[in-house]
A = this chain, B = another copy of it.
Amino acid sequence: MAFGLLNTVLEKSETLLGSDHASVVSMNLFVALLGACIVLGHLLEETRWMNESITALIIGSCTGIVILLISGGKSSRILVFSEDLFFIYLLPPIIFNAGFQVKKKQFFRNFMTIMLFGAIGTLISFAIISLGAMHFFEKMNIGDLTISDYLAIGAIFSATDSVCTLQVLNKDDTPLLYSLVFGEGVVNDATSVVLFNAIQRFDLTHINSTIVMEFAGNFFSLFILSTALGVAAGLLSAFTIKKLYFGKIKHSTDREVALMMLIAYLSYMLAELFHLSSILTVFFCGITMSHYTWHNVTEKSKVTTKHTFAALSFLAEIFIFLYVGMDALDIEKWDVVRNSPGQSIGVSAILLGLILLGRAAFVFPLSFLSNLTKSSPDEKIDWKKQVTIWWAGLMRGAVSMALAYNQFTTSGHTKLLGNAIMITSTITVVLFSTVVFGLLTKPLVKHLQPPSNKPSTPTSSFTETLLNRDGDGSYIENHEPLHRTQGQSDYILDHPITLAMFWNTPSRAIHHYWRKFDNAVMRRTFGGRGVSTVVPGSPIDTSVQQLWIEDVEDKEQHGEP
């Protein structure tokens, strides 16, 4: 459907190409494509290989080809990539949502390890890629690249894109791994951007110890100030909402939601104002908000904010991948490098190699270091987890693209060979790593981290039905699993819940606990018949179960016991 529309729309756009109208046309097309990505991504969800990022990337490329053919080879783009669009509108919701949805308990428990991977690891990877690029590219005769360019290349290709892996990892089956990959991904993004900005600001042609010291001082003060600003903004929102107690009056949910959105955005803009790292600020603002503000708002505000931020982040991610896919085919960029395809492929291959190496060079040693400090075997990172973490950071995405554009296209597309090669190589690396590494991720993760088959399996089918239905009551008439427990004893604590149960399948364990508790309460209250006697479809029945679900989900979401 979207492609039928595309044709009509593009024909129209050629006849009516006033600049205003053209932008209306391209916005229509883009919105329709975003919708198509969601629908197709959903339809492909079941397959073993695909995920939403790859779907969007492929749809973007196909659209690019179609536009290229229709426009007679002139252009494949319907929107001009703007750094502002990316850094002001698309990145903040993604990073904020990452902070807002993070499992705080896991995040803070593994705080040191995450910081080790995210900050120190990124610096190691940056150093290896920069030095490697300097070593190889100087021999390849690809135009004048300054020392700043080489350092920028290191920062550009240190910025991982762990969205793909996160779509595959199960946060209930492997909470440690999930939190490490998730946390590292965000801290890594922030570190790369801070590094990149520091490189652009300092004159690094003559490196001496003073400059290195200043550089390091700048880097760490940025890190600390940005975090502090984010935490302060989060606390301000919590204080305002708690103090004013919006819940008392009508329309309070709308006000609370509006205020949370505003303060989140304000934290981002304030960081920009004070030249701090807005990514880091908005991430810690998200964490603080979910930890303090979220508990002071109404139930409806909780549901609304949780899902609104997730939906906006989801849209922004798809938007980015769709754009990258479409932009990859822009003919102008390939014009300059057309005469030297070997060089371009060589550069891309070297960069991919350096990425693999740079990541291996910190994941395995730092995991070893981290394991030295842990006593419990559950907290140690075994080699399968190490490989998964290594793999999860191999994808390169929109952050790399945005930084590369910033460094190598000062005024539109430059005609300099060096810059042109770096842009096309970045595109190649992003496409290759996202599609090829991305497609291999699902099978690899399944192989390394097989889904757990724990004794609670009979319960889990019911739990999953409920949870997957996302709080809607329509599955609830299925009472079979409830009857299944009738033979067991119904008193609380007669089947103590082991720590291992919580560890491996926290949601199931909690649900298990809740059902027992409810049975016991209802037995005492209503005459010893337990939950299974509730009239199917009656308000009590569905609402009690809904309470379980919400409780279980909130616990999962916010990582509190």
Spell out A's residues near B (CB within 8 Å).
9, 12, 21, 24-25, 27-28, 31-32, 34-35, 38-39, 42-43, 45, 240, 244, 246-255, 257-259, 261-263, 265-266, 269-270, 272-273, 298-301, 303-304, 307-308, 310-312, 314-315, 468-474, 518, 521-522, 524-527, 533-535, 538-540, 542-544, 546-548
Contacts and interface: CB of A to CB of B under 8 A. Distances in A.
Contact of A31 (B240, B265, B522): B265
A521 B543 contact: no
Contacts of A522: 540
A95 to B, nearest CB: 16
A21 B247 CA distance: 37
A254 B28 contact: no
A314 B304 CA distance: 15
B43 A261 contact: no
A303 B298 CA distance: 12
A521 B539 contact: yes
Contacts of A257: 307-308, 311
A472 B296 CA distance: 10
Contacts of A249: 42, 45, 468
Given A303-B304, A527-B526, A310 B251 contact: yes
A336 to B, nearest CB: 29
Number of copies: 2
A16 B351 CA distance: 39
Given A254-B310, A254-B311, A470 B39 contact: no
Contacts of A535: 521, 524-525
Given A39-B244, A252-B470, A542 B547 contact: yes
A269 to B, nearest CB: 5
A239 to B, nearest CB: 11
B526 A469 contact: no
A473 to B, nearest CB: 7
Contacts of A244: 39, 42-43
Contacts of A544: 539-540, 543
B38 A258 contact: yes
B311 A472 contact: no
21 contacts: A12-B273, A27-B269, A28-B269, A32-B266, A35-B263, A39-B244, A247-B468, A253-B307, A253-B471, A254-B311, A258-B314, A261-B315, A299-B470, A301-B307, A304-B311, A521-B535, A525-B526, A525-B534, A526-B527, A539-B544, A543-B547
B38 A262 contact: yes
A62 B360 CA distance: 58
B28 A266 contact: yes
Contacts of A546: 299, 543
A348 B523 CA distance: 73
Contacts of A25: 273
> Lowest 9 A-B CB distances belong to which pairs?
A526-B526, A543-B543, A257-B311, A304-B307, A298-B472, A298-B470, A254-B310, A543-B547, A258-B311
A45 B255 CA distance: 12
A14 to B, nearest CB: 14
Nearest to A241: B39
Most buried by B among A24, A240, A307: A307
